[in-house]
Amino acid sequence: MSEEKRKLSAFEAFQQTQLTFAEAEEKAKQEAGAPKVERFRIGEDGEYSIRVLPLAPSFDNEGNIIPMDRKGYEYAVHQFFLTIEVPGKKGKKPKKISIPVIRTTDKEVGKSVDLLDTYVKIGKEMYGDDEDLMKLFSASSYEGGIRWNYQHAIMVLDVSSDKERAKGPQLWQCSHSQYKDLDAAKMRLWAELKADDGQDTCPISGFTNAYPVKVIRTTENNKTGYKIEIGRKTLDITEAEAEKLLELPRLPEQLYRYTRYQLEATLVFLQQYDEKHDMEVCKEPDFIEAVEKLKGELSPEDTSHFDIATATNKEDGKDEVTIDSLYAEYDNITDQGLNDKSEEYKDLREKIRQFIEDKNLDVRISRTKNNLQLLEEVEEALDNQDKQPKEAPAEEPAPAPAQSRRRAPQPKVEEPEEDEDEEPEDSDSDSKEEEEAPAAPAPESGRRSRRARPGSEEAAAPAPVPEPEADEEPEDAPAPESSRRRLHSRRLR
């Protein structure tokens, strides 16, 4: 446009298009992404004092509160860890990765079908006369089964000390049994308060006139237990803590995310499950139909992808194994009551070791540190890494063209020396991958006519391999192929 046709001078034009302070603040918030939500964990025996927080409301563009579909202080979530075996590269042994998924038919997720539920349903109908398989289907993921881990997500303040409280609202994912104990104690107290003073507000999650909760963890005979108590002295929430709660993502945003990457990983997991237990559930028309239906319900903008051939624990360039996923696996192990002698605990330790190496973190692994202590040190190292400014690399003399690439620095992980009477953790992880999952809860009846699994009429099912005790060391060598359990023996219909 020529200067004659322009109605404003150059300075006037730029003056009207300058970035304001409010716009700069909003831009900075968008670029920073969602605030990090700290996790509250009960990793060791002891007493933990928390203050339960109510569900935070959401607001429309005009600042008005959007009516809440759910009130109270918790959201429930069904979670399962897919354990997928990834082929080793350059002659190395296969490794295992764990990917958490949620139940897609839960109301908050809103899908019409769930692949794990569909697989179990069809599997029970096809192989209902196989008692071992029926028990396995109903077992937990750590026992080799496909049973959901039912948890409740609650925002809390850790009020054990002023230092802990200063961390602000944290996410606590408690087990269903812990939630039931908490809810029962709340209702008993609420009934007393209502009878005495007519109190109508929640006695543990209200901002005023509400009481802290004490969670007591104990371990006896290698079994972990929890006890819930409610204090008798009220503890109010400050205005600053309420503001901080409103700044954090709402619980549904944190919990109910399901991607195409997770769908494809679920398919790989179930195909490996078929092969491991000599089944053909994934080939059934009903299962294939469920897969296509769920694919059609995902967002077309979701371009994430899982490929077993190149699996590196990443989703769209982001690490699938993160500090949060490691913490989630630790929580799951704790909820199962598994101790540091269990294969699951040792498997997680190896994943922590690998994470430290991959991230080049200055964290020393020692047998004197438990997994929770290692995770806390890893989290601190990650925070320090994020705070450090990215320095420009120092100038060096120009190398020859053929030598222009530089090797990445080696990780600063120090390997501890083990006592002679203790087996190194590496050997633990080497042997644990060969162990079979033990059987668990009772079978369900009812089945429909399906085609038999390969070899079902030729193979006789020997007695299942007994489960090793938790405190026993795993065997150094894998079981011979001849001892592999054949889990099917059904009539061809």
**Distance, C-alpha 284 to centroid of its chain:** 30
Confidence of residue 55 (pLDDT cuts 50, 70, 90): very high
Q: Which of 108-112, 199-203, 253-257, 383-387 has the lowest mean pLDDT?
A: 383-387
pLDDT score, position 376: 86
Is the separation of the CB atoms in 131 and 117 below 8 Å?
Answer: no
Q: Which of 19-33, 76-90, 107-121 has the lowest mean pLDDT?
A: 19-33
pLDDT in tens, 170-221: 999 999 999 999 999 999 999 999 999 888 899 999 999 999 999 999 988 8
Is the separation of the CB atoms in 294 and 111 below 8 Å?
Answer: yes
- Asked whether residue 315 carries a pLDDT value surpassing 60, the answer given is no
How many whole angstroms separate alpha carbon 70 and alpha carbon 155?
15
Average pLDDT over residues 42-61: 91
Confidence of residue 311 (pLDDT cuts 50, 70, 90): low
- Phi, psi dihedral angles at 14 (to 5 degrees): -70, -30
Q: Which of 197-201, 303-307, 346-350, 384-388 has the lowest mean pLDDT?
A: 384-388
- Phi, psi dihedral angles at 267 (to 5 degrees): -60, -45
Average pLDDT over residues 35-57: 90
pLDDT score, position 30: 60
Q: State the sign of the Cα–Cα–Cα–Cα dihedral 159, 163, 164, 165.
A: positive
Tokens in use for 340? 């540091």
pLDDT score, position 11: 80
- Asked whether residue 430 carries a pLDDT value surpassing 60, the answer given is no
- Asked whether residue 41 carries a pLDDT value surpassing 90, the answer given is no
Q: What is the pTM of this model?
A: 0.64
Q: Which of 267-276, 287-296, 417-426 has the lowest mean pLDDT?
A: 417-426
Q: What is the mean pLDDT of the chain?
A: 78
How many whole angstroms separate alpha carbon 81 and alpha carbon 173?
15
Residue of 361, 355, 342 lying closest to 425 (CA atoms): 342
pLDDT score, position 223: 81
Q: Strand 170-175 and strand 38-39: pairing?
A: parallel
Domain ranges of the chain: 37-60+68-103+148-258, 309-386+411-431
- Asked whether residue 101 carries a pLDDT value surpassing 60, the answer given is yes
How many whole angstroms separate alpha carbon 214 and alpha carbon 199?
22
CATH of 37-60+68-103+148-258 given 3.30.1330.30, 1.20.1070.10, 3.90.198.10, 3.40.190.10 = 3.90.198.10
pLDDT over 90 for what percent of the chain? Answer: 41
Q: How far is CA 253 from CA 37, 111, 174, 205, 256, in A?
A: 11, 16, 18, 21, 6
Cα Rg of the chain (Å, integer) = 27
Residue of 384, 365, 385, 386 lying closest to 374 (CA atoms): 365
Average pLDDT over residues 81-89: 84
Between 260 and 318, name the one with better pLDDT.
260
Confidence of residue 153 (pLDDT cuts 50, 70, 90): very high
Confidence of residue 165 (pLDDT cuts 50, 70, 90): very high
Between 35 and 196, name the one with better pLDDT.
196
pLDDT score, position 397: 53
């764990």: which residue's tokens? 98
Q: Which distant-in-sequence residues (6+ apart) come within 8 Å of 278 by Cβ?
A: 453, 454, 455, 486, 487, 488
Average pLDDT over residues 287-297: 97
- Rounded (to 5) percent helix, strand, coil in the chain: 35, 15, 50
Residue of 128, 43, 22, 27 lying closest to 333 (CA atoms): 43
Identify the top-confidence range among 85-89, 127-131, 381-385, 432-436.
Answer: 127-131
- Asked whether residue 268 carries a pLDDT value surpassing 80, the answer given is yes
pLDDT score, position 463: 43
How many whole angstroms separate alpha carbon 207 and alpha carbon 312?
45
Q: Which of 48-52, 79-83, 243-247, 319-323 has the lowest mean pLDDT?
A: 319-323
How many whole angstroms separate alpha carbon 211 and alpha carbon 50?
9
pLDDT score, position 297: 96
Between 86 and 154, name the one with better pLDDT.
154
pLDDT in tens, 348-358: 888 888 889 88
Residue-wise DSSP of 94-113: PEEEEEEEE-TTSTTT--S-
Q: CB burial class (10 A; 0-12, 13-18, 19+) of residue 471? A: exposed
